[in-house]
Amino acid sequence: MPTDAALPLYPEIEPYETGMLPVGSGHTLYWEQSGNPEGVPVVFLHGGPGSGASPTHRRFFDSEAYRIVVFDQRGAGRSTPLGSLTDNTTAHLIADLEALRRHLGIARWLVFGGSWGSTLALAYGVAHPASCLGFVLRGIFLGRRAEIDWFLNGIRTVFPENWRKFAEFLPAEERGNLLAGYYRRLVDPDPAVHMPAARSWSTYEGSCSTLQPNPSLVGSFAEERHALGMARIEAHYFRHDCFIDGEVLLRRVELIRQLPAVIVQGRYDMVCPVVTADALAQAWPEADYRIVPDAGHSAMEPGIAAALVEATRGMQEKLPVKDE
């Protein structure tokens, strides 16, 4: 698979402004702005929950056309404290998005999110439709129990060797409930307990995220901050059905159907299978639904990356630069 440099993304850029925003309960969010300060505002919502954002994520957007806001959600990436589960729910993340929007003086923004980021984008959009210009969504996930069960167990029908390694991290007597076994270790304060569990969870997800094997991506999933933030926070959210009702979320899409939207989905996405994107497209027939025929889950799949760049390029022609 191509490296980041070979992907069909815009050139690398650096932020023109960064900051840390306190949002309560001890949480402080890392945020950054890059691109054109007078451009169309867009906010990037990373996946996981808990995976954090990276410099590559700025590159889905034309820096001359967009005011690019990237931030790390509670407990993730450069936000502090890393891996904190205190007051870390979907409702809190929605409130954080509104706090960041107001802090940056943005009236409305395009909302871009993949995987868990698509869940948060939809939940935020139906809660605050007046704050949104439109949506670019990828690898759709709605947080429903069947989707969580698929991640924890169903993937073994396609990646049995990856799942076996994931399951066999736990003692045999705990493998009947992988989520409980992992959660108990992930919340243990001892790094000697929680870090091996975090790496096992995170590399399992990374190893199932691409159509073709991608050792460099799997390696990035094993990096300590990424692994701990994502594994601990994902397990926390999964234990609580992501603090949302995915069926209600689908019905509430009615509140944002008038806004432009693009849905990008890999045909062979094994982390968030296409059936969920199809359900969203049925609930949102006005959305531009694009299935990438030769891709899995990761935004770093060449076909997915190209479709996302095409989507943001198309959006910049539809959206006002100045939002009065």
Tokens 């590159």 found at: 59
Asked about 297 being catalytic, the answer comes back as yes
Active-site residue, from 115, 200, 202, 298: 115
- Which residues have a Cβ under 8 Å from the Cβ of 305 and sit 6 or more positions away? 7, 8, 9, 60, 299
Asked about 62 being catalytic, the answer comes back as no
Q: What is the dihedral of CA 128, 129, 132, 138, to 10 degrees?
A: 90
> How deeply is 45 buried, as exposed, middle or buried, from its count of CB atoms within 10 A (0-12, 13-18, 19+)?
buried
Say if CB 121 and CB 112 are below 8 A apart: yes
Active-site residue, from 62, 72, 96, 269: 269
Three-state SS at 100: helix
Asked about 269 being catalytic, the answer comes back as yes
d(CA 163, CA 153): 8
Please name which of 54, 9, 1 lies closest in space to residue 306, comparing C-alpha atoms.
9
Q: Which residues are catalytic?
A: 115, 269, 297
